[in-house]
Amino acid sequence: MQELFGLDDWAAPVPLLTPREMGQADAAAIAAGTPGTVLMARAGRAVADAVLRRLGHRQGRRAAVLCGPGNNGGDGFVAARLLAEEGVEATVYLLGARGDLGGDAADAARQWLGEVHPLQAALDLAGLDEASQPHVWIDALFGAGLSRPLEGVARRLVEALDASDADIVAVDVPSGLDGATGEVRGAAARAVETVTFATLKPGHLLYPGRALCGALTVADIGIPEAAVTGLAPKAFANAPGLWRGAFPVPEAAGHKYTRGHLGVLSGPAVQSGAARLAARGALRAGAGLVSMICAPSAAMVLASHLTAVMVKPVRAGEAAANLMARHRISTLVAGPGLGTDESARERLLAALAAPAEGEGLTGLVLDADALTLLAERGEGIADRMPPRTVLTPHEGEFARLVPDLGLQAAGQRLSRLDRARTAAERLGSVVLLKGPDTVVAAPDGRTAIAANAPAWLATAGSGDVLAGIVGGLLAQGMPAFEAACAAAWMHGAAAEVCGPGLIAEDLPEALPQVAAALIGDAGLPPPIHLAPASEP
């Protein structure tokens, strides 16, 4: 099971460095005594190794190496030399003049003893028949130093390669991909594999970048850990190493109340399916008890569909808060199937009202219709949100909540990562911005980008289950940022278990397998052995 989710690879947090931060880490490594030429030699070695793995055998294999004017091109020169030494027929194409190369790249070019062709020749090659094509292209035009959109011959070549079915191994990033944002500047060609160095960059995980990188290999080139941690990174890949320490492990001596009582606020009977999906997700995520809080008119429909989830009808007004206090419901999920009319708003406000007794609401998930209510008639809602509140918008709901940060907002140039981070700071809550590259952001600036969501996860009702999983983890006391991250990861992992054809109802049922992988045998009582009598 550990192997299924690659948990061993993700045992520690994986920070995401912007290209600028990576440059700082490189500089710190060099200052600490590792020459830049050594870092470049290791980077080029990692690229050559990736190419050799792909080619299988060396003899008669052709590699076209596209080198740019900076150190990304330098990595290309090193890879070309190492491939040639292994018997691969490597041809180097350079953007600009060899004499204009400087620093470590000039050093790497000096060690390349073969010819250097102008980049135009590679464009001509790309247009030739299939039999003349190289077996692999190495894209070492631009990496961390990309400063403007691709143009001229570089752009035409990249476009031609993207339109072909060439096998491309990209160095650091596919050239034209902005490592900070995941956006394409001008053009970028889809790689089969991208070899990057030291750690991942946001652009490797944010779309469209994620789709352009192909398989990702992170090569250790000897950047000391302190050079990365010294930058105090706040962005991470969303994987278990980031939040596993806070994941709730059931105690053998615990009982259902120690695992929290979660309420799910249901809307009208005919649209109560969404709330049921959330409730099921919460229960499967380990909440001790889950109650559906509903209007009396929805109770029969809910009761006929639910078994382990309790149905608690309430009339109106303060009754909801009192009911929650009486049953020690300290976490609430509101939004799926709630409705956006005045009665929905009243029911939400009533459930958020601090009860006369008890500690009140300590965890809250606002999703779907509740986000629309918060955006359009938020008075009274925002000031009743407890500190552990998670908002789970998709792009449309996000644009309603923070119009100037929406995807389509005029003049908006921030990455998805920065938009989520700015929204979390502004709203004072954890924001989980849904998408194939779900971003979780905390008001203190921490962010995480998902990397494990399969395409078939985008299905009706899947978001309702996600809201429930977040609620289920909050109910067990997990901090809000970690709960949102863990829920997004578990959601993706559950979809991986189910495979294509997944419908939302399947997701909660796959969660036990995911939880088993995360906690192993931690929840079992210590073993008892019945030992046979031993010989005296």
- 175 interacts with K ion by CB under 5 A: yes
Q: CB of residue 43 vs ligand NPW: minimum separation in angstroms?
A: 4
**Candidate residues 18, 34, 72, 372; the one interacting with ligand NPW per rule CB under 6 A:** 72
- Only one of the segments 32-40, 83-91, 303-311, 522-530 lies at the binding site for ligand NPW (rule: CB under 6 A); that segment is 32-40
* Residue 333: closest CA among 468, 498, 216, 139: 468
Q: Is 452 annotated as a binding residue?
A: no
Taking the alpha carbons at both ends of the chain, their separation in whole angstroms is 42
Q: Is 125 annotated as a binding residue?
A: no
Closer residue to ligand NPW (CB): 15 or 435: 15
Separation of alpha carbons 454 and 495, rounded Å: 7
**Candidate residues 70, 336, 435, 468; the one interacting with ligand NPW per rule CB under 6 A:** 70
Whether the CB-CB separation of 200 and 239 falls below 8 Å is answered with no
Record the tokens describing residue 82, joined without a space.
């190492």
- 148 interacts with ligand NPW by CB under 6 A: yes
Residues β-bridged to residue 90: 63
- Only one of the segments 64-72, 229-237, 444-452, 487-495 lies at the binding site for ligand NPW (rule: CB under 6 A); that segment is 64-72
Closer residue to ligand NPW (CB): 68 or 471: 68
Residue 154, C-beta contacts closer than 8 angstroms, at least 6 positions apart? 68, 95, 119, 141, 142, 175
Whether the CB-CB separation of 233 and 261 falls below 8 Å is answered with no
Q: CB of residue 361 vs ligand NPW: minimum separation in angstroms?
A: 48
Separation of alpha carbons 476 and 330, rounded Å: 10
- 33 interacts with ligand NPW by CB under 6 A: no
- 202 interacts with ligand NPW by CB under 6 A: no
150 contacts which partner out of ligand NPW, K ion, none, CB within 5 to 8 A by kind?
Answer: ligand NPW
Q: Is 203 annotated as a binding residue?
A: no
Burial 400-423 (b: 16+ CB within 10 A, else e): ebbeebbeeeeeeeebbbbbbbbb
Q: Is 274 annotated as a binding residue?
A: yes
Separation of alpha carbons 114 and 486, rounded Å: 51
CA distances from 2 to 7, 9, 79, 429 (A): 5, 10, 34, 32
What is the sign, positive or negative, of the torsion defined by CA atoms of 299, 302, 307, 308?
Answer: negative
175 contacts which partner out of K ion, ligand NPW, none, CB within 5 to 8 A by kind?
Answer: K ion
Q: CB of residue 8 vs K ion: minimum separation in angstroms?
A: 29
How many C-alpha atoms does 333 have within 13 Å on its Cβ side?
37
Q: Secondary structure of 193-256 in the HEC alphabet?
A: EEEEECCCCHHHHCCCHHHHHCEEEEECCCCCHHHHHCCCCCEEEECHHHHHHHCCCCCCCCCH
- Only one of the segments 141-149, 247-255, 260-268, 328-336 lies at the binding site for ligand NPW (rule: CB under 6 A); that segment is 141-149
- 36 interacts with ligand NPW by CB under 6 A: yes
User: At 158, phi and psi to the nearest 5?
Assistant: -60, -40
- Only one of the segments 81-89, 135-143, 316-324, 510-518 lies at the binding site for K ion (rule: CB under 5 A); that segment is 135-143
- 136 interacts with ligand NPW by CB under 6 A: no
* Residue 331: closest CA among 409, 248, 404, 238: 248
- 145 interacts with ligand NPW by CB under 6 A: yes
- Only one of the segments 73-81, 263-271, 275-283, 339-347 lies at the binding site for ligand NPW (rule: CB under 6 A); that segment is 73-81
Q: CB of residue 94 vs K ion: minimum separation in angstroms?
A: 14
Closer residue to ligand NPW (CB): 97 or 316: 97
Closer residue to ligand NPW (CB): 138 or 171: 171
- 171 interacts with K ion by CB under 5 A: yes
**Candidate residues 10, 93, 197, 236; the one interacting with ligand NPW per rule CB under 6 A:** 197
- 147 interacts with ligand NPW by CB under 6 A: yes
Separation of alpha carbons 294 and 313, rounded Å: 5
Give the single-character DSSP code of 431: E
- 193 interacts with ligand NPW by CB under 6 A: no
Binding annotation: 71-75, 139, 143-149, 172, 175, 274, 337, 394, 434-438, 463-464
| Binding interface with K ion (CB under 5 A) | 139, 143, 170-171, 175
Binding annotation for (6S)-NADPHX: 71-75, 143-149, 172, 274, 337, 394, 464
| Binding interface with ligand NPW (CB under 6 A) | 23, 26, 36, 39-40, 43, 68-75, 142-150, 154, 171-172, 197, 221
